[in-house]
Structure 1
Amino acid sequence: MSDFRRHLDEVKSKGFGSEQIVKFYNDRAETYEQDFFGTLELRSAHLLMDILVANFSGERQKLQVLDVACGSGMVAKLMFEAGFRNFVGVDCSQKMLDIAAESGLYQDLHLALLGTEPLPVQTAWFDLVTLAGGLGVGFCPVSVVRELWAAAKPGGFICLARGNHSSSAEQEFRTHLETELQLMEEDGLWSPVAVRQEDRYMLDPNLETSGEGGKVYITGTCYLYRKSSSTEGNQRPFKKM
């Protein structure tokens, strides 16, 4: 097992929480892209870009993008290559934000631990709000989705990408998430644009290889919604998890 996988397993065994998750990303900031996009072959940013390129039209260089859980800036880097130019980033790790700042792509960067602290940006302002890989047990709770919705302007887009991990806690999280997505649609807050599945979202962080020596991947899902432009809908309460 690699040192990175061992470190990840140790943190997960203690249970991710506010202090643990901030420390984990501060400690791994310098090697984050190699650890996740290299060692674990994480495709969260690429999956998000795939769905945007397939469904998003217009003058990309003029759009205001909010990159939530931005990390080192991988999503912004890919979006810049696709013609997007205006980015605001939010992350829980100051060291990750420092690295993101070095890219020169962000007009502004904010430190916040989502689910514990409110999203520190103007509401109803952004043309596109993205969250790639941040939704999950011990990371961003389901309740954060409504904050992302609030940050988007009427008619704006919200794009969420996450891995379908196999633990019982993650399966329960996914059930709550998809229930919330459906409730928001029923309440007229937004409408679905597209859903995309990825068979090889990332290597299973709990398994080095399969019994036959092959790689074992988990699947991933990316959701793209458009915020209602005609009504603010009915925001029913939702229990955090």
Structure 2
Amino acid sequence: MELQVIDHPLVDHKLTVLRDKNTPSSTFRSLVGELVSLLTYEATRDVAVEPVEIETPVARTTGVRLSEPRPLVVPILRAGLGMLDGMTAMMPTAEVGFLGMRRDEDTLEIETYARRLPDDLSGREVYVLDPMLATGHTLVATIEYLVEHNAKRIVCICLLATPEGIAEIEVQIGDRADVTVVTGAMDLGLNEKSYIVPGLGDAGDRLYGVVD
């Protein structure tokens, strides 16, 4: 597994505003999109491309385009949806699939309640969107599912991560898959309720409001 913690003043600035409990949902949503676009720039540095001949107004030249099969973007519902626009703004030709997962607050086990993905991911580069890499259980379950369906390469884009979450992926996945985690910051760790510290609270609630 490869880990990339993006060190950039714009990323740090936007994360600081996101962390502030007084930041309203409308600003929070807008900033998440901007931040994801910055993270996507780094996360797609090794995206597969192929040469293509084009004609400019002046001459013919060789450029590149995204290779087939196209990359697949997979937001983890519901909070991952808030990251989707920022990702597709940078990579509009990518396809989009969905995974619905939630953590049981008592057992901390991951439950999958929705899947909308191709059955065969052979040769596909998959970009997973999940704002918070806390315990790592959700991303491990997601990676396991994608590996079982033959994904070629998996890149997980997270606003925040913890040492505990990274360790969980390393232990559970190891070298069985080509996995990269790209994050805006590595926070201190988890509290007794498995929330990220200092974190930014519940990303889903701050994006969309509290839903009982």
- Could you tell me the TM-score, scaled by structure 1's length? 0.45
Q: Which structure carries more relative contact order (alpha carbon 8 Å, separation 6+)?
A: 2
Structure with more helix by fraction: 1
